Amino acid sequence: MSNIVLPTERRKATDYNPRLMVLYGRPKSGKSSLMASIDNNLIIDLEDGYRALDVMAVQARSANDIFEIKNLIAQKNEENGGKPFYRFITIDNATRLEEMSLVYAAALYRKTSMGANYGYKKDKIGNILKDKNGNKVIDLKADVRQLPNGAGYTYTRQALKEMINMFKPLCDTLILVCHVKDKQIKKDDTETTEMAVDLAGKTGDIICGEADAIGYVSRKDNKTLISFIGGDNAIRGSRPLHLREKVFQVAESDKDGNLKVDMSQIFLDTAN
């Protein structure tokens, strides 16, 4: 007997906190200070960018570090009765994560019949080198993006998505901090520029498409703003109702340079 019940009328829209939030902005726009201010937020710092801030952060320098951190968080959650130990997890930043994911992308390609012998070190005559235990020696510089006809980007996108998505079940909200780039697009037969997250090819569009909210962080005078207002020349927007088509002032510095941050408007039932 099925437990599925078909609806007979519309249900009312409900608000919720983003499960995946993408925040991007220019350098020195205040992204790190905002992330450091969020209570119970574990920051996975990929570029050592939080030294000057009071923060709860762990550094990662390789894909192996990322997977180890994921396992350690899962262990903490298990010790916490299966509930998230950290309400928020922030990965800073996506561009560096994409670079780290290349090793994993090569591993994914090696699982295919075409890539079985890809990415191993070879001697001068092309024989695959092995270590003293008889294991093939992986070439950490192998870059699947160099595969013919752009075939490798399938694996880089898959690797990056998996490395992001594996953190979603471990917290209430996963925040992905991104750099910004100017992207050339064609609209109505005219070349124009739009702001986009700094990821290769279509990867940025795919990641943003999976996000519940995409916010652009900027500064105006002594204030820090996050905009979720969509537009023709920027990737922004939100599914949660409380963020949709809005701009929020989330920080302000006084004349002495002291920064006061308030992210309570961004995350429901959160006051910092």
DSSP conformation letters of 28-89:
TSSHHHHHHHSTTEEEEESS---TTS---EEE--SHHHHHHHHHHHHHHHHHTTTS-SSSEE
Quickly count: other Cβ atoms within 10 Å of residue 248's Cβ.
18
Q: For residue range 13-39, what is the model confidence (pLDDT) as tens digits?
A: 999 999 999 999 998 899 999 999 999
Establish if 253 belongs to a structural domain.
yes
Domain containing 116 equals: 20-261
Strand, helix or coil at 213?
strand
Amino acid at 34: L
pLDDT band at 186 (very low <50, low <70, confident <90, very high): low
Q: Rounded to whole angstroms, how far apart are CA atoms 171 and 256?
A: 36
Q: Rounded to whole angstroms, how far apart are CA atoms 251 and 272?
A: 11
Q: What integer is the mean pLDDT of 218-229? A: 94
Establish if 15 belongs to a structural domain.
no
Q: For residue range 103-149, what is the model confidence (pLDDT) as tens digits?
A: 999 999 999 999 999 989 998 898 999 999 999 998 888 899 999 99
Identify whether the C-beta of residue 103 lies closer than 8 Å to the C-beta of residue 140: yes
Is residue 271 scored above 70 in pLDDT? no
Residue 22: closest CA among 272, 239, 193: 239
Mean pLDDT of the chain: 90
Q: What is the pLDDT of residue 272?
A: 45
Q: What integer is the mean pLDDT of 253-272? A: 83
Q: What integer is the mean pLDDT of 196-211? A: 86
The whole-angstrom distance between residue 244's C-alpha and the CA centroid of its chain comes to 20
pLDDT band at 180 (very low <50, low <70, confident <90, very high): confident
Establish if 136 belongs to a structural domain.
yes
pLDDT band at 242 (very low <50, low <70, confident <90, very high): very high
Is residue 194 scored above 70 in pLDDT? no
- CATH code of residue 69: 3.40.50
Q: What integer is the mean pLDDT of 174-178? A: 96
Q: What is the pLDDT of residue 191?
A: 61
Establish if 266 belongs to a structural domain.
no
Q: For residue range 79-112, what is the model confidence (pLDDT) as tens digits?
A: 999 999 999 999 999 999 999 999 999 999 999 9
Query: Parallel, antiparallel, or unpaired for β 57-59 and 41-45?
Result: parallel
More confident residue, 55 or 202: 55
Residue 139: closest CA among 163, 161, 109, 160: 109
**Number of domains within the chain:** 1
Is residue 215 scored above 90 in pLDDT? yes
